[in-house]
Amino acid sequence: MNQNIEEKKEAKLNDEAGGNAPQQPPVGEKTALVTIIGRPSAGKSTFLNTAAGEPVSIVSAMPQTTRNAIRGIVNTSLGQLVFVDTPGYHDSEKKMNLRMRNIVADQLDSSDLVLYIIDSTRNCAEEERMIAEILESHQDKLVIALNKVDEKNPLLAHARKFIKAHLPLVPENRILEMSAKNDVGINEVLKALYDMAKVAPHLYSEEFYTDQEVDFRIAEVIREQAINRLDQEVPHAVYVQIADLEMRSPTKMWCRAFLCVEKESQKGIVIGKGAQMIKTIRVESIKALKKIFDYKIDLDLQVKVDKNWRQRDATLNKLLK
């Protein structure tokens, strides 16, 4: 874990908790499971990665990059916050989008707290109203973060007016401004969540920053490298299948993975001219995995067609959890 990031974050949180603030409970006593919700591309995954100090959730300019509930764990002397990054809440009747919306609803019901991230550079339109509607009964455990405040002309007054109209029970001290990308205001958001968290045992040991299994993390890294290089509709038609994992020595793992697409025409796009695209995805995936794992991963990456997989319940059941 990036110790410098975490030390600075914890020091600032400790400073903000001092002075006339009430005495914080001993290390490990405050714990909360926090669901992150927001529209696609609001900055949920970026917030989680910045808060955790590690690449927990994949990030892309492509909307709806996150497909599952991803857990990231923040440990400081104030306690433990276990964040669940959910898929972007999107108004669509397609089967896959409906599945992802169900994931969001399930996480809201089971969480201790909710962090609602609003992209302050966009108008609060229909999708924002849909989110506010499902959050209406959760206002007692809600913190709202207005993200991207360092972008040109953020619509902060518009966002605050929307919140007042649709979520009036959320007090001003739980409506905060931040830039997840540039780590501005993150500590204030964490502090607000810690203030609401209850005294309870930790859910994870302090050395953990995520609970993701090895095969899931490898698949997500490959998918991130793929979707950030593919144009138009192809990224939404891609999923990663881990076929084999084998620890061949204490310092080396071998992995065979498939980038699966829906159509034969998409297969050629992912492979690229002279197999250059798939080679680049493989090489960059290995580089990214090296930053996560303390052993080398030898990656055998291929492409195959899984026709119309987004319409099949069996495939969606495996991918969306």
The CATH superfamily holding the domain 3-199 is P-loop containing nucleotide triphosphate hydrolases (3.40.50.300)
pLDDT computed for residue 19 by the predictor: 39
Question: With 80 as the cut, is the pLDDT of residue 312 above it?
Answer: no
Cβ(259)–Cβ(278) below 8 Å: yes
The pTM is what? 0.69
CATH 1.10.10.10 fits 214-319, yes or no: no
Question: With 80 as the cut, is the pLDDT of residue 94 above it?
Answer: no
Question: With 70 as the cut, is the pLDDT of residue 274 above it?
Answer: yes
Confidence of residue 53 (pLDDT cuts 50, 70, 90): confident
Domain ranges of the chain: 3-199, 214-319
Tokens standing for residue 63: 């909307």
How does DSSP assign 133-192, residue by residue?
A: HHHGGGGGGEEEEEE-TTSSS--HHHHHHHHHHH-TTS-GGGEEE-BTTTTBSHHHHHHH
Using alpha carbons, select from 236, 229, 201, 208 the residue that is nearest to residue 66.
236
What mean pLDDT is reported for the chain? 82
Q: How many CA atoms lie within 13 A of 75 on its CB side?
A: 18
Query: Strand 239-249 vs strand 70-76: parallel, antiparallel, or unpaired?
Result: unpaired
Question: With 50 as the cut, is the pLDDT of residue 22 above it?
Answer: no
